[in-house]
Each structure stands twice: as C-alpha cells, then as structure tokens.
A and B are shown apart, each in its own frame.
Chain A
Amino acid sequence: MKLAPTQKHEVSHVAEVSPAVQFLSIDGEFAPNEAAEEYLPYLQELDEADHRRFYTDMAVTRRFDEECTNLQRQGQMGLWPPSHGQEAAQVGSARAARAQDVIFPSYREHAVALVRGVDIVDIVKVMRGVSMGGWDATDPANGNFRNYCLVIGSQTLHATGYATGVRFDGAYATGNAESDIAVMAYFGDGATSQGDVSEAFVFSASGQNPQVFFLQNNHWAISVPVTTQSRTPLYLRAQGFGIPSVQIDGNDVLASYAASRKHLDDARAGGGPQLIEALTYRIGAHTTSDDPTRYQTPEQLAYWVARDPIIRFETYLRSQGADDAFFDEVHTQAEDFSADLRRRTLELGAPPLSTIFDNAYSEAHPVIDEQKAWLQAYESSLAEGA
C-alpha cells in the first residue's frame, strides 16, 4: 500500500481545475466571472438592506464565535468548534433558504443557526455539557434547524430521509415557492469519505429528492488535508451519482447566496438533488483542543486570511456607500450580542439528574423507572449522611 505523501503546501488543488462561481474578487470588487453569469438573476432579488443584513450576520457570528472560543479557554465549555472563516458560505446559503426549508447541520454551522433563529446559548449548552441536544428543532421558533450531528456524515442520510418524506407528502413541486419545501444538509470535506454520505447521494438521486447537499470544503478534516480524502474536485464526485453540482467561492457571500438560492429553488421545483461545494477555509483550530501549528504552514494560513470573507464584503459595501456609522453600529451590535451570550453562558447551571432518565424512551420503561428511583434514593441518603 502506498499513499501519496501529504501535500502540505498545496493551497487548493480544486480551484485551478474549475473556476468556482465568484461575484466579488478577493479585493471586494464586483466582478462576476463566467461561471457566475447564470446566477446573476438571483442577486437581483437583493437590495441594500439584504446586503447589510448579510454583513451583520457574518460580523455578529465572527464576534460570538470568538467569545465562545474564549469561554472555552476559560473552562466554561468542554469544547468549541469555531466557524471563523466560513461565515460567507454559511450566511449566504442560510439567507437563501426559505422559511419552510429544513436544514440538517453538522456541528460548525453557527451562522446558519443564527440566521434561522436558534438562540446561540442553546448551542453553548451542548458544548458546555448541560444539554444533550440544545434546542427543540420541532419548535417553529428554531427555523427548522435540526440538531447538530457529531458523528461525521450521518446527518446527510437524515436529510435524505426527510426529503423523501417531503416527496411522499407532495410538499414540493406544486409551483408555489413560498410553501414548497427543500431540504439542505451541511457537511464537510472530510465527511465525503464516509459511506453514509455516498449512501445519501445514492438514495437521494434514486428518489430524485428535493434537497441540496451543501459541502463546505474548508480544506481540513482536523489535521488531514482534503487531498487525502479526494483526488478529484469534490463537486465532481456528485456528478458520478447523477447529482448536478457546482463549485463556488465559499468566501464570497453573494456567490453562496445566489448558488444556494438557485439550487434550492431547482430542487423545490422538482429538479432532483443538487450539490454545492463551497471552497472556504477553517481559519481557526478544528476545535479548541486542536493545535493547527502542527500541520498547517504559516503561508497557507496567510493565503486564506487574505481572502477573509468579512473584510471582502466590507470593502464591497463601502464601495456601495456604506459608511463608518453603519460599521460602528454593527460592531456595537456584535459586542452586545456576545456580551449577552457570555452573561447567559455563565448563568447556565447543571441540568437536573432526572434528565439522565427522562427521555431515554418516549414511553414508560421499567428499567428506567427503577434506576431513576434508585438514584433519587441514593442521592438523598448521601445528603442525609453528609
């Protein structure tokens, strides 16, 4: 067995093969490339207020994500997977989804959660170890944002089954874009190697499901480069499964919006599953327990820091007339948001012991009842003895 050596200095073996859809140059100039042309009409739906909302979503996420990293370092959370660097891919696609769409995230989609209305403290609860799932995905307030999935790739099959149900229910392709449902699954470059993800492609294509696979290629699976997962650009792999696909500049929020808008609408209209590969980069560590200096070169990091999605969009907005007052206001909003998140994080207490047992099953179970009663009696005997 002979594996090719790890290519540490390779920045993006995929971008050279096919020019990814891009509207904003890395300097923030509006200069759509050829691949972007067919997506232009989707941008025309947007006005200045939408643009500013995209920026605000990204800036607020960047700030609270940093706050959560700090909180973890201060021992307030077990773990935090940072979204730093991936804000454009996440915000553009999340803003493109319609209210009735259903989102199956992995575990790093904090910006998507924010856009869909999830209270970020509910994500903190999972990472702090005070809740198993965090939020109630069946509560409409949470924007059909399903629970995080830590077992790599597993959510792509759940999304596929959900979309199969939507298809059986005829809840798509009626011609009403305001009620027809599309399902979107987020997953990473590493996840594409899991059998579950290939099986999701097979099932989805077989049934021609109304769904979009949103692949964030952030170039790493912890320390393993994307070149270890795939020798072909990942978006091309989908085509082998009969799934139309496109590669986009994932650090261009407009590209992420327009591509997601089109492919979600195509899927909801009965066009079958679609895949979007967003080229982006994990600027931070994999999680707070990771040390990227062991596997990432400073040059590689610098290359991607220069492509920061938020700075790029700020430059664009300024060229469109946004002034300091706007950016100051966003800054204040981001500070307030993360200060509030910090305060509420520190207030989170341990959950009651009954939660160990309460939802192990949805119907009564004799073993659970017996063990719950045992623990209660045991704890009160300790309290008496103390």
Chain B
Amino acid sequence: MVAATEELPLAKALNAGLRAALAADDRVLLMGEDIGTLGGVFRVTEGLQAEFGTNRVIDTPLAESGIVGSAIGLAMRGYRPVCEIQFDGFIYPAFDQITSQLAKFTARTAGAVPMPVVIRVPYGGHIGAVEHHQESPEAYFAHTAGLRVVSPSTPNDGYWMIQEAIASNDPVMFFEPKSRYWPKGPVDFALSAAPLHSTRVVRTGTDVTVIGHGAMVANLLQAAQVAADEGISIEVLDLRSLSPVDYGPILRSVEKTGRLVVCQEATGFASVGSEIAATVAERAFYSLESPVLRVSGFDTPYPASKIESFYLPDADRVLEAVDRALAF
C-alpha cells in the first residue's frame, strides 16, 4: 500500500501513473525508443519493463512513424498503446500517422474502430538543450480534429491525467513539460483528480486573469506573487486541456476580472493561445475591460539555448502584459 499522499517529482508521478495503468489493464502497452532497459531518457518508464516484461514495455526500432503507425494497428487489435516520443522535435516523422491516420480512424469507420492511443511527448524549453529538444509543437495537434490534447503542470496532475488519458477511447496527445520533471510536489493517490478536460483555478484574484499550461503555470504563479506585493491581484488558471478547452472557468474568471492574458512558450501565430483569445472575445465581450493579450515565444525558430531565456516568456514578460491590460 502506498501512503495516501507523497511528495514526488513529475517524472516519478508519471511513472507511478503508468505502473497503475499497466497493472489495471493488461491490454495497456508502452512503446518507444529507449523506454525499456534504459527506462527512458528522462526515466519516466524506469523499472516498468523489469516489472511487466518486454511485451508490455517495448523498446522499439528507431522510427517515430513506425511507433505511431504500429500503435494504430495494435489499437485495432484491442490493445491500448502508450507511445513515447523521445523529444518534442522528433514527433514530425510521425506526423502523417498522427494527423491523417490516428486522428481520423474513428470518423472514417463511423465509430466502429476507436483509437485508444496515448502519445506522450516531453516538450518545452528551459533546459539548455540543443536544437529539436525544446520545442512546443502542441498547436499542430490541437488544430487537428480527432485528437485530444492535454498537458499536466504538476506531479499530481501527471499521476492522474496519464491514467485518464489511457482510459480514454480517443487518441490523446499528452504533452509533458520536461523542465518540470524534477521539482517535487504532492501526489494524492487516494483522491481522483479533476476530469481530464478541465481548466483549473490555481490562485484566485480579482484584477487580471492569466492562463497558461505546462511549465508556464509556474511562471504565472511567480508573476502573481510579485504582482501581489505591488497590490495587484492576479487570478491564475491552469489550462490543463488544450483540446477541448474547458471554457467555463475561463469565462467565469474573466467575468470577474474583466482582463485576460493568455501565456504560452509556443510561437504565438496560429497558436492555442490565439484560439482562446478569440473565443473569449466572442463569448465575454461585454465583460472585458481591455483586449485579451497574448504572451508567447517569438515567431522564430527556437534560438541557441544560451539566449533561450530571452525567447521564452518569463514572469516579467507576463507582468509587462498584465500592466498593459491594466492600463486600458
């Protein structure tokens, strides 16, 4: 028996969630590069091959299209594959299999062939990595009908959301903020978390609403703390689900604060943040005291890592936008 609550880093919480899913249903499989003997380059699958065997936790050949494409076949055969893509920038060889195949099978077969496939993707910057190891490609997948897209920001969400994603009969893109793999946080093993596709209020406030997902949430909380010292009350929302977006808490918050700043590491053009900004403008127009503002990575390739901190929006950049929102 595990204690009801434990302090764990996100990587270990995900590991516990995957272990629980493997133990609960023997049709659940993990597949990916270096996930077995090595336990994954981030050790998220550490020990799972030893525990469940090489037919449940599979070190695949080195081909992302092969991983996702064969996961589709496994799903047709009644398995529930959980694929690991080693890094964000290596998902593109699988793009056809994800967007044209995985995303569309349910519709193409009039619902006869569901696709309970999860694709785990460590993503995002802040770790001083070389190119292709720090990208935030989530908008491509949120843009693709047929996929569900989520991103946990805390160890507790990691533990629960991975199990909810595996339980879903739809394909779920599961974006793991890799810079958050190591900080510890409480994981409540007893209490089931919020539903997979729900936005959560993580700090209440009255002046401005800020929203983000993944590693951005820590920046938002830091910004809210700094603002509080200056007498500005920020409400912080953790998006958690990028598709579908749970608009209820967002609209309720904006009705209260009248101001919204949407934050993301990804490039801003045609992004998830753009979609949220547009929807809030449509649905909460009369509540808004200022335009919805976006804070994003610049619309450039990710730069050399020594200057990534100038590319990635930090708490200061969030506060700069908060000030602009308040100036209206």
List the interface of chain A (C-beta within 8 A of B). Answer: 1-3, 5-6, 78-79, 126-132, 150-152, 190-191, 193-196, 221-224, 228-229, 289-290, 294-295, 350-351, 353, 355-357, 360, 367-368, 371, 375, 378-379, 382
In the docked arrangement, what's the CA distance between A248 and B82, Å?
39
Q: Are A3 and B304 within 8 A (Cβ)? A: no
Would you mind naming 6 contact pairs between A and B with Cβ atoms under 8 Å apart?
A: A129-B304, A190-B61, A222-B38, A355-B307, A357-B300, A360-B300
A195-B63, A196-B93, A294-B39 given; A127·B130 CB < 8 A: yes
Scan B280-304; emit 1 where CB is below 8 A from any A CB, else 0.
0000000000000000001111011
Q: Are B131 and A191 within 8 A (Cβ)? A: no
Set of chain B residues within 8 Å of A290, measured between Cβ atoms: 41
Smallest Cβ distance from B305 to chain A, in angstroms?
3
Set of chain A residues within 8 Å of B55, measured between Cβ atoms: 1-3
Q: Is B316 interfacial (CB 8 A cutoff)?
A: yes
Set of chain A residues within 8 Å of B39, measured between Cβ atoms: 294
Q: Are B303 and A224 within 8 A (Cβ)? A: no
Q: Are A222 and B33 within 8 A (Cβ)? A: yes
In the docked arrangement, what's the CA distance between A290 and B39, Å?
11
Partner of A195, one of B34, B93, B303, B306: B93
Q: Is B89 interfacial (CB 8 A cutoff)?
A: yes
Q: Is B99 interfacial (CB 8 A cutoff)?
A: no
**B residues 49-71 touching A (CB-CB < 8 Å):** 54-55, 58-63, 65-66, 70
Smallest Cβ distance from B68 to chain A, in angstroms?
12
Q: Are B61 and A228 within 8 A (Cβ)? A: yes
Q: Are B63 and A357 within 8 A (Cβ)? A: no
A194-B63, A224-B62, A353-B307 given; A6·B300 CB < 8 A: no
Set of chain A residues within 8 Å of B92, measured between Cβ atoms: 151
Q: Are B303 and A78 within 8 A (Cβ)? A: no
Set of chain B residues within 8 Å of A1, measured between Cβ atoms: 29, 55, 58, 70, 74
Smallest Cβ distance from B128 to chain A, in angstroms?
5
Scan B129-166; emit 1 where CB is below 8 A from any A CB, else 0.
11111000000000000000000000000000000000
**B residues 23-56 touching A (CB-CB < 8 Å):** 29, 33-34, 36-39, 41, 54-55
Smallest Cβ distance from B139 to chain A, in angstroms?
16
Q: Are A193 and B130 within 8 A (Cβ)? A: no
Set of chain B residues within 8 Å of A126, measured between Cβ atoms: 130-131
Q: Are B41 and A289 within 8 A (Cβ)? A: yes
Set of chain B residues within 8 Å of A196, measured between Cβ atoms: 93
In the docked arrangement, what's the CA distance between A367 and B267, Å?
12
A150-B131, A382-B316 given; A375·B310 CB < 8 A: yes
A151-B89, A351-B307, A356-B311 given; A129·B128 CB < 8 A: yes
A150-B132, A194-B93 given; A132·B59 CB < 8 A: no
Smallest Cβ distance from A332 to chain B, in angstroms?
32
List the interface of chain B (C-beta within 8 A of A). Answer: 29, 33-34, 36-39, 41, 54-55, 58-63, 65-66, 70, 74, 89-90, 92-93, 128-133, 269, 298-301, 303-308, 310-311, 316-317, 320
Which of B62, B66, B90 has the most chain A CB within a 10 Å cutoff? Answer: B62
Q: Are A353 and B310 within 8 A (Cβ)? A: yes
B311, closest chain A residue (CB): A356
Partner of A367, one of B34, B129, B299, B304: B299
Q: Are B62 and A190 within 8 A (Cβ)? A: yes
Smallest Cβ distance from B252 to chain A, in angstroms?
32
Set of chain B residues within 8 Å of A375, measured between Cβ atoms: 298, 310
Q: Are A223 and B54 within 8 A (Cβ)? A: no
Contacts A223-B37, A351-B303, A360-B300 aside, 19 further interface pairs with beta carbons under 8 A come to A2-B55, A3-B55, A128-B306, A130-B306, A150-B131, A150-B132, A152-B90, A190-B62, A193-B61, A222-B33, A223-B59, A229-B62, A290-B41, A294-B38, A350-B306, A356-B298, A357-B300, A367-B299, A368-B299
A129-B130, A191-B62 given; A223·B38 CB < 8 A: yes
Q: Are A151 and B62 within 8 A (Cβ)? A: no
Smallest Cβ distance from B94 to chain A, in angstroms?
10
Q: Are B62 and A221 within 8 A (Cβ)? A: yes
Partner of B59, one of A78, A130, A228, A350: A228
Set of chain A residues within 8 Å of B129, measured between Cβ atoms: 78-79, 129
Set of chain A residues within 8 Å of B58, measured between Cβ atoms: 1, 3
Q: Are B305 and A357 within 8 A (Cβ)? A: no
Set of chain B residues within 8 Å of A130, measured between Cβ atoms: 304, 306
B96, closest chain A residue (CB): A195
Partner of B305, one of A2, A129, A379: A129
B61, closest chain A residue (CB): A193
In the docked arrangement, what's the CA distance between A356 and B267, Å?
13
Smallest Cβ distance from A220 to chain B, in angstroms?
10
Q: Are B38 and A350 within 8 A (Cβ)? A: no
Smallest Cβ distance from A154 to chain B, in angstroms?
9
Set of chain A residues within 8 Å of B128, measured between Cβ atoms: 78, 129
A350-B307, A356-B311 given; A195·B65 CB < 8 A: yes
Set of chain B residues within 8 Å of A294, measured between Cβ atoms: 37-39
Partner of A360, one of B66, B301, B304, B320: B301
A6-B36, A224-B33 given; A371·B299 CB < 8 A: yes
Smallest Cβ distance from B230 to chain A, in angstroms?
13
Q: Are A355 and B61 within 8 A (Cβ)? A: no
Smallest Cβ distance from B182 to chain A, in angstroms?
13
A134, closest chain B residue (CB): B304
Set of chain A residues within 8 Å of B316, measured between Cβ atoms: 382
Q: Which 8 A-B pairs have the closest CB atoms?
A: A129-B305, A223-B38, A193-B61, A190-B62, A350-B306, A360-B300, A129-B306, A356-B303
In the docked arrangement, what's the CA distance between A24 and B102, Å?
52
Partner of A132, one of B38, B60, B304: B304
A6-B54, A224-B34, A356-B310 given; A351·B59 CB < 8 A: no
Smallest Cβ distance from B74 to chain A, in angstroms?
7
Smallest Cβ distance from A113 to chain B, in angstroms?
16
Set of chain A residues within 8 Å of B298, measured between Cβ atoms: 356-357, 371, 375
Q: Are A5 and B93 within 8 A (Cβ)? A: no
In the docked arrangement, what's the CA distance between A350 and B36, Å?
38
In the docked arrangement, what's the CA distance between A351 and B303, Å?
10
Set of chain B residues within 8 Å of A127, measured between Cβ atoms: 130
Set of chain A residues within 8 Å of B300, measured between Cβ atoms: 356-357, 360, 368, 371
In the docked arrangement, what's the CA distance between A379 and B298, Å?
14
In the docked arrangement, what's the CA distance between A350 and B29, Å?
44
